[in-house]
Amino acid sequence: MVILAIFRLIANNVTLHTADMEIDHSSVTLIEKGNSKSEIEVSGNDYDQDREFYITKLNGWVKPGRSYVWTAEFVAQLTDSLKGFYRSVYKDENDREV
């Protein structure tokens, strides 16, 4: 999984909703996008079972207004429900499925 995010606030963690997904903790990385492409060290992880949040703890800070790429390998069952890893369809401006 690859997620590109622009952070609005300073933070020392990345929190994602990951219902019914198993994240490979050893594969998680966070890299600042742009000229520096510097990697922020991942110091650990946590899981909030009540809200189904996967929390990547960082040994550093993300900076507001900067872009970062979070990557991880995961295992999940592809479903038709709207929870976890599910099928979805998007429509363009002409109402065509893409």
**At a CB cut-off of 8 Å and minimum separation 6, what does 57 contact?**
12, 13, 42, 43, 44, 45, 46
Average confidence (pLDDT) over 8-16: 95
- Other beta carbons within 10 angstroms of residue 72's beta carbon come to 22
Q: Which residue type occupies 23?
A: I
Model's pTM, two decimal places? 0.80
Digit-coded pLDDT (tens) for 16-27: 999 889 999 999
What is the set of domains in the chain, with CATH numbers?
2-76 (2.60.40)
Q: What is the pLDDT of residue 67?
A: 93
Residue that has been written with the tokens 């069952």 in this structure: 77
